[in-house]
Amino acid sequence: MKAAVYYEAGGPEVFRYEEVPDPHVVDDQVLVGVEAVSIEGGDTLARSGGELFVVPHIVGYQCAGTVLETGPKVLGLTVGDRVVTVGLDGSHAELRAVPEGFCWKIPDGVSTTEGACIPVAFGTAHDCLFEFGHLEAGQSVLVQAGASGVGIAAIQMAKHAGARVLATASRDDKLERLKVLGLDEGINYTTTDMVAEVRRLTGGQGVNVVLESVGGDNLQASVSCLAYRGYCVSIGDAGRGGAARVDVSTMRPNNLTLTGYFLGMELFMSPRARAVIAGILEDLAAGRIHAVVDRTFPLSEAAAAHAYIESRDAFGRVLLVP
């Protein structure tokens, strides 16, 4: 099969488009013919500095396609099923072998391209808002990096839940586009003091929940945006600003909670998260949420696709098509 691989971590230019051995299924695995790869923020971080367990390395959490073969212990999937899959790596390729437990059938009425966008971004957003952020109707939420995949998911879900939704982005045009998806108040963090603006928009109280994906110094700023007994849920360091540090003494006066979150561990440890993602796919089929695709690149142009994501020009998902 063909795959986008690299031999050492680094910038997008490390990618090579090469022939590599086909994967083979064992036990509870299925072999998927990949039709769409959703590039996740973690994919770019892994490529730039993650550990390579094998060389050449195929990066990538998430992709969708059609089941071509099933292992002897597979019970719920058959050849021909359309599925979206997640894993620690291996999505940037024409074929992927993945355990059945990390696959979801794509409902009728949902394209494979749309399905490819769902588990990581929408599953993460849902858990951060409701399972760990305890968001309720009538409360307020601040979504950092609102134009990202997780951001776009969180804005829609929070609005449907009856929350007031604030979000940040680097450009006013992105904030305008987010209003169609449910954004109530946009904050351009390049021209506005984010903390001061959140306080102004909430009458000095702050928000009940912050979904924090930027990291670095922004994590402390996010904590400073919280209302009494608010929750900040940290999912990553997309801002690449170095180690994220918080002065815990700033959290005590208002009894604030800071939680770190990783969807992968939830999927490993509990069937709850798997069921949540299945429900989100049904919401997509019913039109209650929408996947937003910015651009599609051929798999052979993985370097260009990763560079485009890192330019911060993207609005929504960037896909690779083998």
3-state secondary structure string across 190-229: CCCCHHHHHHHHCCCCCEEEEEECCCCHHHHHHHHCEEEE
Residues of the chain with confidence (pLDDT) below 70: 238-243
Let me know if the fold of 2-117+291-321 is the same as that of 121-263: no
Question: Contact, 239 vs 47, CB < 8 A?
Answer: no
pLDDT of residue 244: 74
CATH superfamily for domain 2-117+291-321:
Medium-chain alcohol dehydrogenases, catalytic domain (3.90.180.10)
pLDDT of residue 53: 87
Domain residue ranges of the chain, discontinuous segments joined by +: 2-117+291-321, 121-263
Distance CA 233, CA 10 (A): 28
pLDDT of residue 52: 92
| Of the candidates 310, 313, 318, the residue with the CA atom closest to the CA atom of residue 294 | 318
pLDDT of residue 242: 64
Share of the chain above pLDDT 90, in %: 92
* Ranges of H-type helices in 77-164: 112-115, 119-126, 149-160
pLDDT of residue 31: 98
CATH number of the domain located at residue range(s) 121-263 in this protein: 3.40.50.720
Query: Is the pTM of the predicted complex or chain greater than 0.85?
Result: yes
Distance CA 302, CA 298 (A): 7
3-state class of 2 per DSSP? strand
* The pair of three-digit structure tokens given for residue 19, joined into one six-digit string: 């022939």
pLDDT of residue 136: 98
Residue 184 makes CB contacts below 8 A (sequence gap 6+) with 159, 164, 165, 166
